[in-house]
Each structure stands twice: as structure tokens, then as C-alpha cells.
Amino acid sequence: MANNPLMPDPQLLMDLVTTRMPFGKYKDRLICDLPDFYLEWHQRNGFPKGKMGMLLATMYEIQLNGLSFLLDPLKKQHR
């Protein structure tokens, strides 16, 4: 069965609620709990390369579009 490009990757969403920021002012904070202004700063100045950059960019898009509530069930499941 082919992946639907309109459906988010479930592992990506899980990573947003389980991966901690590895550096900077918000080191050790979960990606899903980073403040909007921090994600906006990265968007303006460039996301890091690799998986961390992809996670930050994804979280930025989720917050920008007011979809953070979609992560709430996953957060509850893993806290």
C-alpha cells in the first residue's frame, strides 16, 4: 500500500512528542513544547540540516496552521 502524500507520517508525529531539543536555550525541551517565537526564529534564520531541521520545520508548520491540538493525544500517551 503506497503512502498517501496528504497524510502525515505517524512516526514523524511521534518524533515531535518524544524528541528533545539537543542544543540551545531550549535544550532538553520536547520539540512539541518549543515556543512559537523560537520556531519562527529558526524559520527566518534557517532550520538546521538533517532530521532535527525537518522536525523543527514540521512543528513550525503545525503551529503556524493552528494544528497543535492534533498532537495532544500523542502527548498524553507518552507523558
pLDDT of the chain, 79 residues: tens digit per residue: 445 666 667 889 999 999 999 999 999 999 999 999 999 999 999 999 999 999 999 999 999 999 999 899 999 888 7
Predicted pLDDT at 44: 97
> Total structural domains in the chain?
1
**Alpha carbons 57 and 40: distance in angstroms, whole number:** 9
Number of neighbours of residue 67 by Cβ within 10 angstroms: 11
| In a domain? residue 5 | no
**Domain around 41:** 10-77
Predicted pLDDT at 8: 65
| In a domain? residue 3 | no
